[in-house]
Chain A
Amino acid sequence: MSGGSGFDSATLISAGYALTSEELASSGVQASDDVAEYALRLGDDALILAQNMLWWVSRAPELEEDIALGNVALDLLGHARVLLTFAGSASGKSEDDLAYFREEEEFRCLHLVQFPGHDFGETIARQLIFSHYAFEQWKRLENSADATIAAIAAKASKELDYHVDHAEQWTQRLGLGTEESNRRLQAGLDYFWPYIDELFEDDEFIEKLGPVAVRPSELREDVMARITTAIEEAGLRVPEVKQAVTGGRRGEHREALGHLLAEMQVLARKHPGVTW
């Protein structure tokens, strides 16, 4: 390991120093198939949202916000990298194999994270929902029966705490700002609300994982209480809309994910092993 792993990662500026599955394997940490599948769910949420958030770099309404959204995306990408590396340890795959060389139906992310959210109101609405959800999830996962998941959670929850704060501050600013900013954030909330039930869906796989995972339904009360308080304090209304048909955890996705993957994966697929 002295000269780095020698593995070229397209996610790194300098080749050879990725925390690869090979390194993970040599350290003796290897996920079981079930834990790997769970890490994939968590990692795909973070990866896809990071990719969507990165669109804002150079496009945000002000320089400070440009940096803030870029930082949030960087944190999420950090979570995705370690989670996908861990997930890959079960099958001998690297983080890049999992990010760039999986087909759409092999991704396990929520529908919430798949849409572009190119309207600032939409992005803040989604951040309000996702960051509260992810914070509560990571907070509980600090007690996961899997030591690696617990370690990742301890770091991620601290970062999500900042994301929550960022989303709440913008919710207040836009909600209590002008008529137009209030309208746009409300439209963003209305847009993403149909996908909220999926966040709290249990399934047989979660039951099987037991104390390794958090049962999503257990998050619902706390997450919804915090989101609805933030919405009401900002002079907005909690949407009353029908829930959409989802299935992200089973690999059933929105059209938007295909477009996102096409852009995210094109370089790695066109020039396998490329570094810069």
Chain B
Amino acid sequence: MIEQIDKNLAQRPKDPEAARVWDIVGKVTDPEIPVLSIIDIGILRDVLVGSDGTPQVIITPTYSGCPAMDTIKADVEQALRDAGYERSEVTLVLAPAWTTDWMTPEGKKKLEEYGIAPPTGSAAVGMQRGPKRLSLAVRCPRCGSIKTNELSRFGSTSCKALYQCANCQEPFDYFKVH
């Protein structure tokens, strides 16, 4: 389960066989946010192919308690079975810990079009102790106004917060910086 992998963004493997697997499983989407693939969110960390041809897919959970991980794991296995791989291995890694900084620009764009405000700023500045930090305004994904209010930092899923737009009055989800 635990292995150290490069802290940098995950890369499509250079090995053609592994790259093929990457492309197959990369189409698997988050069950909670079906417009986002596991590449978009940064959950897909690496793909290895064993000497016997068995693919090993390495994914990382977004939040410790995220119930979507079990579904994603099953969906990855199913995608590979559909593509003709009889056996596969899905490995969960915790290190390095997932961050919204791994979300792709396309992923952020898709999120916004879907009606969820993408994370603002970078996670690296978070987790400082001391005086309360100011956070950037969250733009309403419907009307584009920055006059929005946080209703609850905890939203419909672990990764989201609940906001309301003061301009168009619509409530919306915000994907938290993490």
- B97, A65: Cβ atoms closer than 8 Å: no
- A2, B77: Cβ atoms closer than 8 Å: yes
- B155, A155: Cβ atoms closer than 8 Å: no
Which residues 67-106 in B have Cβ within 8 Å of A in the complex?
67, 70-71, 73-74, 77, 86-98
A68-B153, A150-B95 known; A2+B89 contact, CB < 8 A: yes
- B1, A19: Cβ atoms closer than 8 Å: yes
B134 contact set on A, CB distance < 8 A: none
- A82, B64: Cβ atoms closer than 8 Å: yes
Interface of A is mostly: helix
A71-B158, A159-B63 known; A29+B97 contact, CB < 8 A: no
Whether B65 is near chain A, meaning CB under 8 Å from some CB there, is yes
A146 to nearest B CB, angstroms?
A: 10
A12-B70, A14-B71 known; A162+B153 contact, CB < 8 A: yes
- A78, B156: Cβ atoms closer than 8 Å: no
For A70-88 the 0/1 string (1 means CB < 8 A from B) is: 1110111111011000000
The CA-CA distance from A14 to B75 in the complex, in Å, is: 13
Partner of B64, one of A24, A29, A67, A79: A79
For chain A, the count of residues having a C-beta within 8 Å of the partner chain is 46
Whether A269 is near chain B, meaning CB under 8 Å from some CB there, is no
- B66, A17: Cβ atoms closer than 8 Å: no
Whether B136 is near chain A, meaning CB under 8 Å from some CB there, is no
B65 contact set on A, CB distance < 8 A: 74-79, 81
The CA-CA distance from A78 to B65 in the complex, in Å, is: 4
Q: Which chain B residue has the least Cβ–Cβ distance from A162?
A: B153
Q: Which chain B residue has the least Cβ–Cβ distance from A76?
A: B65
Whether A61 is near chain B, meaning CB under 8 Å from some CB there, is no
A195 to nearest B CB, angstroms?
A: 24
The CA-CA distance from A156 to B152 in the complex, in Å, is: 20
The CA-CA distance from A12 to B71 in the complex, in Å, is: 11
A18 contact set on B, CB distance < 8 A: 70
Whether B14 is near chain A, meaning CB under 8 Å from some CB there, is no
A2-B86, A2-B87, A77-B65 known; A151+B95 contact, CB < 8 A: yes
A52 to nearest B CB, angstroms?
A: 15
Centre residue among A23, A71, A72, A77 by max chain B CB count within 10 A: A71
- A67, B73: Cβ atoms closer than 8 Å: no
CB-based A-B contact count at 8 angstroms: 111
B63 contact set on A, CB distance < 8 A: 74-75, 78, 155, 159
The CA-CA distance from A150 to B153 in the complex, in Å, is: 26
Whether B178 is near chain A, meaning CB under 8 Å from some CB there, is yes
Whether B21 is near chain A, meaning CB under 8 Å from some CB there, is no
- B152, A19: Cβ atoms closer than 8 Å: no
The CA-CA distance from A154 to B67 in the complex, in Å, is: 19
The CA-CA distance from A217 to B111 in the complex, in Å, is: 45
A78-B64, A226-B129 known; A68+B154 contact, CB < 8 A: yes
- A27, B86: Cβ atoms closer than 8 Å: no
Whether B162 is near chain A, meaning CB under 8 Å from some CB there, is yes
- B88, A82: Cβ atoms closer than 8 Å: no
- B87, A166: Cβ atoms closer than 8 Å: no
B71 contact set on A, CB distance < 8 A: 14
B22 to nearest A CB, angstroms?
A: 18
B164 to nearest A CB, angstroms?
A: 10
B67 contact set on A, CB distance < 8 A: 13, 74
B87 contact set on A, CB distance < 8 A: 2
A17-B70, A67-B155, A67-B156 known; A1+B90 contact, CB < 8 A: yes
- B88, A2: Cβ atoms closer than 8 Å: yes
A-B contact pairs, 30 of them (CB 8 A): A1-B89, A2-B89, A3-B77, A4-B74, A4-B77, A14-B70, A14-B74, A27-B91, A29-B1, A29-B2, A67-B154, A67-B155, A68-B153, A68-B154, A71-B154, A71-B155, A74-B158, A75-B63, A75-B158, A147-B95, A151-B2, A151-B93, A151-B95, A152-B64, A154-B95, A155-B97, A157-B127, A162-B153, A162-B154, A165-B153
Closest 6 CB pairs of A and B: A78-B64, A78-B65, A64-B152, A151-B95, A68-B154, A74-B65
Residues on B close to A: CB < 8 A?
1-2, 4, 61, 63-67, 70-71, 73-74, 77, 86-98, 126-127, 129, 151-156, 158, 162, 176, 178
